[in-house]
Amino acid sequence: MDVSDLRIALFSGNYNYVRDGANQALNRLVGYLLDNGANVRIYSPTVEEPDFEATGDVVHIPALALPGRAEYRAPIRLSGRARRDIAEFSPNIFHVASPEILGHRAITLARRWDIPVVASVHTRFETYPRYYGLAFLEPVTLAILRRFYRRCDAIFAPSESMAQVLREQRMSYDVGIWTRGIDREIFKPERRDPEWRRSFGIEDSEIVIGFVGRLVMEKGLDVFSDAIDRLKKRGVAHRVLVVGEGPAREWFERRLPDGIFVGFQKGEDLGRAVASMDILFNPSVTETFGNVTLEAMAAGLPVVAARATGSQSLVDDGVTGKLVRPGAIEAFADALQLYCEDREARAAAGAAGCRASERFGWDQVNQALVDGYLRVIRQHANGGDTPPRSPVP
């Protein structure tokens, strides 16, 4: 059996209607699979005006807008129409990309039809409650996630650090790696554009600290703004450039009154914006990989990031940037001050990051997942199954 024999049913709560790193990775995966002769069908909520065109055939799944985050859709069921379509498509493996109702229903269907099922992990959902004053729900969230992932034949993490977390959380007995790639035609130092910087009033000599991502609290916006405030109090010269949109933009703008907000960027425009920064500051602890971290490294920037899953698999502390204990405002400010004031340290870390990013090619990382699909199908056909649950909780 090889890639051309694969018939993959892919289930995602957000395939292309709101752009983020996870669904862009899924679309690249589908493109790679189709280019190599595999058959893929995607089951996901759809909208009339998605953020970007979907790769592959998408079957609509009924969904409701999330309260307070209306840009996102919550699948409410696996419709009869979708079930008939899945049966007609006749997949030999299910891939679920998010642990919500659609994912649960897909796993149940796979078990009923005796089809192997794998899950990819894209977000640390168990960390979300703490950003909304509901930290007491984290143990409950972990239990729900554990039940979800243990029903799969295997799960795939985007970094070794995240894989280790999943093992420690006892999410699965089979944890593989499906990392992320980088488009080196878009993210490279040559994209730096002094004229573009000047159009926002940034002098060539000024050091720009950048933020890239959706403007939501779980991205660590409070930590970012507090660390920037410390730099201002220390008298460290810098400018702040924010790339992204989201429901917390107004709050973030109030916390960063001198910040330059350029909104959502994509493609070559995003590559230009990232390369035109001097430092990337990523304080988030919710990412399982950190696409923006890798993109900044490819663009030749030093990265100051939280010592958390994803970033600690990418950033070599003291070489390509600085890893800081999550929430340690003074330590974040110290790291940022170093790169703001030490040109040689900034250049050395940026060059090291650019070299380190070269090993992340999309074809290589997607083939690793294809190899995982084939292994799981083979093991399933040979009678392999998840180990029996222990009677001890």
Q: pLDDT tens, 333-348?
A: 999 999 999 999 999 9
Domain containing residue 124: 3-181+361-381
Q: pLDDT tens, 191-213?
A: 999 999 999 999 999 999 999 99
- In this structure, the answer to whether residues 162 and 211 fall within a common structural domain is no
Residue 284 lies in a domain: yes
- In this structure, the answer to whether residues 222 and 87 fall within a common structural domain is no
Beta strands per DSSP E along 153-250: 154-157, 175-177, 208-212, 239-243
For residues 17 and 45, what is the distance between their CA atoms, to the nearest angstrom? Answer: 8
Per the structure, how many domains does the chain have? 2
Cβ proximity of 238 and 341 under 8 Å:
no
- In this structure, the answer to whether residues 171 and 314 fall within a common structural domain is no
- In this structure, the answer to whether residues 170 and 211 fall within a common structural domain is no
Q: Which residues of 110-140 are buried (b: 16+ CB within 10 A; e: fewer)?
A: bbeeebbbbbbbbbbbbbbbbbeeeeeeeee
- In this structure, the answer to whether residues 123 and 103 fall within a common structural domain is yes
- In this structure, the answer to whether residues 231 and 115 fall within a common structural domain is no
- In this structure, the answer to whether residues 132 and 223 fall within a common structural domain is no
Residue 349 lies in a domain: yes
Residue 76 lies in a domain: yes
- In this structure, the answer to whether residues 314 and 341 fall within a common structural domain is yes
Going by C-alpha positions, the residue among 215, 209, 212 that lies closest to residue 238 is 209
We report the CATH number of the domain holding residue 134 as 3.40.50.2000
- In this structure, the answer to whether residues 272 and 373 fall within a common structural domain is no
Q: What is the DSSP letter of 235?
A: T
List residues bridging with 93 in a β-sheet: 8
Residue 250 is which amino acid?
E
pLDDT in tens, the chain (393 residues): 899 999 999 999 999 988 888 888 999 999 999 999 999 999 999 998 998 999 999 999 999 887 777 777 888 889 999 999 999 999 999 999 989 899 999 999 999 999 999 999 987 655 655 555 666 667 888 888 899 999 999 999 988 888 888 888 888 889 999 988 888 899 999 999 999 999 999 999 999 999 999 899 989 999 999 999 999 999 999 999 999 999 999 999 999 999 999 999 989 999 999 999 999 999 998 776 778 999 999 999 999 999 987 788 889 999 999 999 999 999 999 999 999 999 999 999 999 999 999 888 888 889 999 999 999 999 999 886 555 554 444
| Residue tagged 């919550």 (tokens) | 74
Cβ proximity of 299 and 234 under 8 Å:
no
Q: pLDDT tens, 258-277?
A: 999 999 998 999 999 999 99
pLDDT at 393: 40
Starting at the earlier edge strand, list the strands of the sheet with 117-120: 57-60, 39-44, 7-11, 93-96, 117-120, 154-157, 175-177
- For 93, the token pair is 């493996």
